[in-house]
Structure 1
Amino acid sequence: MRRQTALLYLASLLCVPLLGLADAQAADIAHVSMQRVLQESQLGRDAEARLQERFSPKTEPFAEKEMAIRQLQAALERDKPLMSEAQVEKKETEIRQRIQAFEQDFSAVQRELMQAQQEEAAKILEPAGVALKALAEKKKLSAVFESSQSGILYLDPESDLTDELIEKMNKN
């Protein structure tokens, strides 16, 4: 019980300055959508192009394999009334095996793609941090938040620096 009371007291102490912050220093806080920075900046578009070039040849065969599995499933559904129980079971087993092999192979490529995306994002985040620091100092901001992070209930659209950050990064 004491612990809960102490936590409530600490929370109230932290909230009191924040309540006044909205009136006194609203211009000192801004936000940025890093997702948009990663997608719309020139560095982000270049990274996406590199990923496409690297992974398109690896992912294209999966579309063909998926189509073949779907065709087998459709043929089974169409011909099922004409097939014996053993034939149906054999076809279902074949389809399950193909699906399992497809998922196993695809998950390996997906893991590799996710790793490559993280590496490419890391290459963008460093220059984004430098550009954001310069932008925040220029605008005399005391804080810049990532707009998609949970816990933020309201963001003034006027405090969004994403477009300016992308522009600054592209100039650099």
Structure 2
Amino acid sequence: MKSLSRRLPLALVVALAFAAPVQAQEFKAGFVNTDRIFREASSAKAAQAKLEQEFSRREKELVDQGNALKSATEKFEREAPTMAESQRVQRQRQLVDQDRDFQRKRREFQEDLGARKNEELSQVLERANRVVKQVAEAEKYDVILQEAVYINPKHDITDKVIKAMNGPGGNGAK
């Protein structure tokens, strides 16, 4: 009995000795800040510029229409006390109709802008994910996270990804 109990701990020690090198392999994790990519990558900046160009005319029209509505409302408020009742009611209806039209156009603008922004950012994110995968494979990462409550800055590879996206052949442009 004693010999079996002495062998068991020795067998356990030998098994642990062989298992230790397997456990000692380093688990390599990285982190990518997608918000920074959306702000700093050249493809993200190009997408933002494209959206601004695409929507600037409509935005200016909305601002002009809003200013005209505000001026008309102020003018009505100044002149309303001296107007005839029927004229006051008619102008009030016109202002309500103009405001309804303005709100509808503003809502449509926001919806269109949001949809286009999502389209453009999804393309940037697809490119970023391709580059992240390339970096992960090249540098033998086990996992790359895009969201975390806390991350040690030494694991942040965002600069590498942005540099690769902005560099030649980094899929930075369409």
Residue in structure 2 matched with residue 168 of structure 1 by the alignment = 164
Distance 1:78 1:25 in 2: 79
Contact kept in structure 2, 1:27 and 1:159, CA below 8 Å: no
Unaligned runs of 5+ in 2: 1-23
Structure 1: 5+ residue runs without aligned partners? 1-23
1:140 to 1:64, Cα distance in 2 relative to 1, 3 A? same
SS of 1:60's partner is: helix
What CA RMSD, in Å, does the superposition of the two structures yield over aligned residues? 2.8
Q: Percent identity?
A: 26
The letter of the residue matching 1:136 is A
Map 1:142-157 → 2, pairs under 5 A:
142-147=142-147, 152-157=148-153
Q: What is the 5 A alignment of 1:74-89? A: 74-83=74-83, 88-89=88-89
Shift in CA distance, 56/27, structure 1 to aligned 2, threshold 3 Å = farther
Cα gap change, 1:77 to 1:134, in 2 (>3 Å): same
1:163 and 1:79 mapped to 2: Cα distance? Answer: 61
1:164 Cα deviation (Å)? 2.0
Bigger Cα Rg: 2
Q: TM-score normalised to the size of structure 1?
A: 0.68
CA contact (8 A) 1:51 1:117 kept: yes
Q: Which residue in the other structure is 1:9 paired with?
A: none
Residues 30 and 161 in structure 1, CA contact (< 8 A), matched pair in contact too: yes
- After superposition, residues 127-142 of structure 1 pair within 5 angstroms as 127-142=127-142
Q: Is the 8 A contact 2:27 2:142 kept in 1?
A: no
CA 1:95–1:31 in structure 2 vs 1: closer, same or farther (change >3 Å)? Answer: farther
**Counterpart residue type for residue 164 of structure 1:** K
The residue number in structure 2 matching 1:101 is 101
What TM-score does the superposition give when structure 2 sets the normalisation length? 0.68
Q: Distance in 1 between matches of 2:41 and 2:28?
A: 25
Distance in 2 between residues matched to 1:68 and 1:38, nearest whole Å: 35
| Distance in 2 between residues matched to 1:50 and 1:65, nearest whole Å | 24
SS at structure 2 position matched to 1:30: strand
1:86/1:28 Cα in 2 relative to 1: closer, same or farther (>3 Å)?
farther
